[in-house]
Amino acid sequence: MPVSPSGTARVFDEAWEGAEAEERHPSRSTACPQQRLQALKAYEVQYASRLRPCSSNTLPSLQALCLGCLATYLHEFLELDDCFLASLPWAWKAPLLAVARRQGMLSDEVLQKLIDSEAPVLDISRSPGLTHDSIHKCLQALPNLRHLDMTGCSSQLSLLCKLHEYCPQLESLRMGKFVSRHSQQSGILWQEKAAGKALLQRLPRLSHDAVQESWEDEQQLQDQPALHKLRLVLWPDLDLRHSEALRKAAPQLQIVTADMMVSPRKLHASSALMEPLDQEYAAMLGNFKWNSAGSSAGAVPGAQHAPAYGSSARSTAHALSMAERFRAAYESRAARVAVVRERNAQKERRRELRALGSAERAVHLAEQGVPLVARTNSRKIR
C-alpha cells in the first residue's frame, strides 16, 4: 500500500525520538559529539578555503577577461539602470552573483538585478542581507531551478513549505545552519526536526508495491505538486543519528552530513560537495584578484561584511569614470597596434623591393623620389 504523508511523518517522528533517546543516554550512543564538532569544523575550513578559485595557468579567454572587469567594478555597475544588467545572459550574471555573495554585497536589490529565469543553479547561502519576501519572490521566478543552496538563510522553514511549488524540477538541496532566536540548542533542534518533517511532506508518496487501478490514477499521482526529482540533500550540521531517522523515512533521498564528507574513505568522493555551489561560475572570471576584491573576500560570507552596495563608504582609488577608463585603455592599445602595423608594413615593402630586378628596383626608387647614387671605386689607381 502507498505510504501516506502522515505515515511517513509518523515513521520520522519515531526514528527521531529514538535518536534523542540515544542522545540522552551516551552509553547507548554510537557517535561521539566531539567527533561531530570536529567534522563540522573541518567541513567549514574546506568550504572557506575554496571560496577563492585557483588561478589557471592557461591564458583566459576574452569572455573571462570581460567578466573579470565587470566583477572588479561590480559596485559601479549595480548603480546603473536595471536595463543594463537585465540585458546580460545568465552565463554573465552568474559569476557576478557569485562575487556579490562572496563579498557580502548580496542584498534584496542586488539579487533582483542579477537573477534570471533561466538559472539552473542558485547559491544564496550565508547571506544575512536577504529578507524573507525577497527570497520567496526570487524562487517564484525560477521554475527550472535544479540546484539550490540556502544554508544559513533565516527563512529555510518557510521555503521548504513552498519549495515544491516554486521549484518542481529541484534535484539537489543544500540546507542547515539554523539559527535560534535566543541561540539555544533546543530551539535549533526544534527547527531541524520541523525542517525534516516539512521536507518529507513535500516528497512524492511512495508506492513501491502498490498498483493503481488505472493510468489516470497513476498520472494523477505523478501530477501532484511534489519534489519528484529531488535525490540529494546536503545537510552538514545534521546529527548522524537524526540523519538516519530522515533516511529511514525517505529512503529515496541521499542525505549527506559533515561526518560523511570528512571521512577518510569518502573524502575523495565528496570533494565536489565541499565546494560552493557557485564555484563553477566563480572560476569563469579571468584576471580577477580575489585578494583585493572587497574587505571580506575569501572569508566565509556573513563573517565579515564589506560595505553594502549603495552606502556612502566608497573607494576613492578610481577617480575616473568607467567610460573614461575604457576610452583610455582603447586609445593606449590603438597606439601600440598602430606602431606595430607600421613596422610590419615597412618590412613588407622592403621584402617586395628585394624581389624585384635591378632595373625595376631602379624605376621603383625613382618613382619614390630616392636619388640614385653611383658607386665609386674606393681603390686607389696606381
Phi, psi of 333 (to 5 degrees): -70, -40
pTM: 0.68
Q: Are 160 and 166 in contact (CB under 8 A)?
A: no
Beta bridge partners of 255: 233
Q: Is 268 exposed, middle or buried (0-12, 13-18, 19+ CB in 10 A)?
A: exposed
Q: Report pLDDT for 257.
A: 86
Q: Which residues contact 26 (CB under 8 A, 6 or more apart)?
A: none
Tell me the per-residue pLDDT of 71-106, one tens digit each, with 9 for 90 and over. Answer: 888 888 888 777 788 888 999 999 999 999 998 889
Query: Measuring CA to CA, which residue among 121, 166, 174, 168 is closest to residue 149?
Result: 174
Q: Are 119 and 149 in contact (CB under 8 A)?
A: no
Q: DSSP letters of 37-81?
A: HHHHHHHHHHHHHTSSPPPPSSPPPHHHHHHHHHHHTHHHHTTS-
Q: Is 159 exposed, middle or buried (0-12, 13-18, 19+ CB in 10 A)?
A: buried
Q: DSSP letters of 302-365?
A: TTS-PPPTT-S----S--S-HHHHHHHHHHHHHHHHHHHHHHHHHHHHHHHHHHS-HHHHHHHH
Tell me the per-residue pLDDT of 234-279, one tens digit each, with 9 for 90 and over. Answer: 988 887 777 888 888 888 888 888 877 766 555 445 567 888 999 8
pLDDT in tens, the chain (382 residues): 344 455 566 666 666 666 555 555 554 444 556 666 777 777 777 777 777 776 666 778 888 888 888 888 888 888 877 778 888 899 999 999 999 999 888 999 999 999 998 899 999 998 888 999 999 999 999 999 999 999 988 888 889 989 989 999 999 999 988 876 555 666 677 888 888 888 888 887 654 444 444 555 555 555 567 888 899 999 888 877 778 888 888 888 888 888 777 665 554 455 678 889 998 999 888 878 776 544 343 444 444 443 443 443 333 334 567 777 777 788 888 888 888 999 999 898 888 888 887 888 788 777 776 655 554 554 544 4
What whole-number distance in Å separates Cα of residue 42 and Cα of residue 55?
A: 24
Q: Report pLDDT for 264.
A: 52
Geometric angle at alpha carbon 249, from 245 and 251, rounded to 5°: 105
Query: Measuring CA to CA, which residue among 156, 163, 173, 172 is closest to residue 142?
Result: 163
Q: Are 123 and 95 in contact (CB under 8 A)?
A: no
